[in-house]
């Protein structure tokens, strides 16, 4: 047992990366607009530490606009083969300059793709998107592909982290950690 949910997450995440057959980094990200209308989609975890859980996206996308209007989010990791899930809730903030180093670590094609996509906006055809991408490949030939100003990193700052483990007869185990100042309070929840 641990009283540090970040250490427990790191342990579970390492086990998921070793044992989950597909995308242990995949997490459902739930946001809501200014009127409280929810939206959820899958994104990839790109970093986690005691500060929180980071991912990257176009700030002009639907999720980016919802985060700007209502800077709170929920995450869900579901590792089906391990019969575990982790739920995280809290405010969200930009990662700052970390976005530059992460963007630089992406493949050149993925960096150009970030320039080519008006994420979440209507697209007239797949061919139009591919033509736009090819045009940018030519424009960036021999040049560094810098991070677009609209491509940001975000970090969910956890206030609640719940660890769920499947148990026989639906007698599941649910451990809830709630932030209290600089520390965490742990409790159990009925399944």
Helices (H), 20-125: 62-69, 98-105, 108-116
Q: Does residue 183 lie within any of the structural domains?
A: yes
Of the residues 106, 108, 170, 174, only one is catalytic, namely: 170
Domain with 178 in it: what CATH number? 2.30.110.10
pLDDT-derived band at 100 (thresholds 50, 70, 90) equals: very high
User: In which domain, by residue range, is 168 found?
Assistant: 5-103+151-189
For 178-187, the pLDDT digits (tens) are 999 999 999 9
Residue 84 bears catalytic tag: no
- Give the per-residue pLDDT at 2: 67
Number of domains in the chain: 1
Going by C-beta distance under 8 Å and a sequence separation of 6 or more, which residues neighbour residue 48?
6, 9, 10, 13, 54
Q: Does residue 60 lie within any of the structural domains?
A: yes
- Comparing C-alpha atoms, which of 47, 46, 29 is closest to residue 38? 29
Query: Is residue 123 over pLDDT 60?
Result: yes
**Bridge partner list, 156:** 53, 92
Counted residue by residue, the chain has a size of 191
Q: To the nearest 5 percent, what fractions of the chain are helix, strand and coil?
A: 30, 35, 30
Q: Does residue 159 lie within any of the structural domains?
A: yes
Q: Does residue 67 lie within any of the structural domains?
A: yes
pLDDT-derived band at 3 (thresholds 50, 70, 90) equals: confident
**Tokens (6 digits) for 50:** 């005691």
For 109-119, the pLDDT digits (tens) are 999 999 999 98
pTM: 0.92
């Amino acid at each position: 047992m641990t009283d540090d949910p970040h250490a427990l997450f790191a342990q579970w995440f390492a086990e998921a990366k070793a044992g989950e057959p597909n995308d242990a980094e995949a997490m459902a990200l739930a946001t809501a607009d200014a009127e409280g209308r929810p939206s959820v989609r899958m994104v990839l975890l790109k970093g986690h530490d005691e500060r929180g859980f980071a991912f990257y996206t176009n700030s002009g996308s639907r999720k980016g606009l919802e985060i700007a209007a209502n800077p709170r989010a929920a995450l869900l990791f579901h590792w089906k083969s391990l019969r575990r899930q982790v739920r995280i809730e809290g405010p969200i903030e930009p990662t700052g300059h970390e976005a530059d180093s992460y963007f630089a670590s992406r493949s050149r094609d993925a960096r150009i793709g970030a320039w080519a996509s008006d994420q979440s906006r209507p697209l007239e055809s797949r061919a139009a998107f591919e033509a736009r991408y090819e045009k940018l490949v030519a424009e960036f030939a021999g040049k560094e592909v810098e991070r677009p100003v609209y491509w940001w990193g975000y970090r969910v700052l956890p206030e609640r982290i719940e660890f769920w483990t499947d148990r026989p007869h639906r007698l599941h185990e649910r451990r809830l950690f709630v932030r209290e100042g600089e520390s965490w309070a742990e409790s159990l929840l009925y399944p």
